[in-house]
Chains A and B, each alone.
Chain A
Amino acid sequence: MTVHSDRVNSGVGNARDDETLRTLMAAYQRGDLDAFDRLYAALEREVRGFLRARCRDPQRVDDLLQETFLQIHRSRRSYLPGLPVRPWVYAIAKRVFLMHLRTVKRRESRETTELSMAQEPEVPAASGRVADRSTLVSALRQVPPDSRRAFLLHHWQGLSFHEIAARLGIAPSAAKLRSSRAANRLRRLLDADERDKK
């Protein structure tokens, strides 16, 4: 089989695949749950790949995948019958991702503001080396948002890992891991800063 005929066959395959998706989408709009299952099975992998290419945290990818399919469900009437299904699905996945980005940025800026507005705790003279506030805020900004959130909830607000897990919708072990990663990253950043000053 030549490369050309491979391409042609693959094109035919895609067209057939798209035809199947259109049929499934029409059945889903008529209220067929089985059609939804088949759509999910057909699209889950590629939508996950699409999200994974934009977001490194696997836990977050699961959340975004769930939100994408729920958004697909909520706006299923906006799919226009007869048109290709994939561009519609990807546009929704992209929108879900952009909304997520916006939320993360808003949360980040709120946490940073809260941290810089908070009263500075009194530190005993013998407590050794303490980073100043601006250094700490600047270092915290460099910690990935998910880890920073778990770290602040634990060390700043004093929540247990079970409480953090419940609040963020993740496993307690994941909360602990994120907080610990943030602490390690902070330590490295502050050490580097200390060395620079010397």
Chain B
Amino acid sequence: MTEPDGETKRRVREMVARDLKPVRPLLRPGRRALLVAPVAAAAVGYAVFGYGHRDFDRLGLFAGWGVSALQWIAGLLLLGAALRHAVPGRDLSRRSITATVSGAIGLVVLVTVVTYAIEPSEVPPGVAFTFWWECVKWPMALAAPILLVASLLAMRALPAQPGVVGALCGLAAGVLADSGWRLACDVSAPGHVLGAHGVAILLLAGVGAVVGVFVDAVRR
């Protein structure tokens, strides 16, 4: 049994009229990603100058700051993709998401290989777990504020897949934080970098997915 014509419209109009006020449209995803840039820059700055940094003389300008700058820019682009996926009707195809995620992971692997080729350094004996824990804990701590700001920006847009958007935000936060952390960590052995820094990035993607779903449920 349907309602009389116009009944739904009347009800909707009443509710809309009750709280209709001007709103400022969201910024484009790229511009919103730039809003996260100061937080991401602060995280990198704290990792390098607050925690301490590796020997830049041995690593060189390109393999040190140059590669980190590239990774940082890639992290922001990834965040832009996440924020775009959050906007209704602008969501990325499954293939694009797969390509984006693969690209991000591939970039981290490439940076690891390049760094190790230029300045090979291993984990000192007997402290493997301490180093591992330090390199999981710190990138996650540095990425936390980035993830928080990114998730809030993303969830304002009413994403259709909050879990996916959150995971992409987490991945982006991880890549951004790691762009600074790789300059703070003295070890460049791929086993350590991928096993600790890489795990931190993947954990951040998982945390991001949970945060996305949670924020979306609260918002609803």
Assess the A40–B15 pair: CB atoms within 8 A. Answer: no
Given contacts A70-B15, A92-B88, A95-B88, contact A31 B157 (CB under 8 A): no
Given contacts A36-B16, A40-B13, A69-B12, contact A76 B23 (CB under 8 A): yes
**How many residues from A make CB contacts under 8 Å with B?**
42
Give 1 or 0 for each of B143-179: 1 = CB within 8 Å of chain A CB: 0000000000000111010000000000000000000
Given contacts A62-B2, A171-B1, contact A33 B16 (CB under 8 A): yes
CA distance A81 to B17 in the complex (A): 22
* Residues of A80-139 whose CB lies within 8 A of B: 80-81, 83-84, 86-92, 94-95, 98-99
Query: Is B95 located at the chain interface by the 8 A CB criterion?
Result: no
Q: State the Cβ distance, B33 to closest chain A Cβ, in Å.
A: 14
Query: Is A58 located at the chain interface by the 8 A CB criterion?
Result: yes
Q: State the Cβ distance, B110 to closest chain A Cβ, in Å.
A: 33
Assess the B160–A91 pair: CB atoms within 8 A. Answer: yes
Given contacts A66-B12, A70-B15, A75-B88, contact A31 B1 (CB under 8 A): no
Assess the A31–B21 pair: CB atoms within 8 A. Answer: yes
Query: Is B135 located at the chain interface by the 8 A CB criterion?
Result: no
Assess the A66–B8 pair: CB atoms within 8 A. Answer: yes
Told that A75-B88, A84-B89 touch, could you supply 20 new A-B pairs with CB distance under 8 A? A33-B20, A36-B13, A37-B13, A66-B11, A70-B15, A73-B12, A77-B23, A77-B156, A78-B25, A78-B88, A80-B26, A87-B88, A87-B89, A87-B90, A88-B89, A90-B89, A91-B160, A92-B88, A94-B160, A99-B220
Query: Is A59 located at the chain interface by the 8 A CB criterion?
Result: yes
Give 1 or 0 for each of B95-122: 1 = CB within 8 Å of chain A CB: 0000000000000000000000000000
Q: Which residues of B contact A80 (CB under 8 A)?
A: 25-26, 28, 87, 90
- Chain B: number of interface residues, binned into ranges: 20 to 34
Query: Is A18 located at the chain interface by the 8 A CB criterion?
Result: no
Q: Which residues of A contact B158 (CB under 8 A)?
A: 71, 75, 78, 92, 95
Q: State the Cβ distance, B212 to closest chain A Cβ, in Å.
A: 14
Given contacts A44-B9, A66-B12, A76-B23, contact A91 B3 (CB under 8 A): no
Assess the B25–A59 pair: CB atoms within 8 A. Answer: no
Assess the B22–A30 pair: CB atoms within 8 A. Answer: yes
Give the secondary structure class of B's interface: loop
CA distance A79 to B157 in the complex (A): 8
Query: Is B94 located at the chain interface by the 8 A CB criterion?
Result: no
Query: Is B186 located at the chain interface by the 8 A CB criterion?
Result: no
Q: Which residues of B contact A61 (CB under 8 A)?
A: 2
CA distance A40 to B14 in the complex (A): 13
Give the interface of A toward B (CB within 8 A): 29-31, 33, 36-37, 40, 44, 58-59, 61-62, 65-66, 69-71, 73, 75-81, 83-84, 86-92, 94-95, 98-99, 171, 173-174, 177
Q: List 30 A-B contacts (CB under 8 A).
A: A29-B22, A29-B25, A30-B22, A33-B17, A37-B13, A40-B9, A40-B12, A40-B13, A59-B2, A61-B2, A66-B8, A69-B12, A71-B158, A73-B12, A73-B20, A75-B157, A75-B158, A77-B24, A77-B156, A78-B87, A79-B25, A80-B26, A80-B28, A81-B25, A87-B88, A88-B89, A90-B89, A92-B88, A94-B160, A173-B1
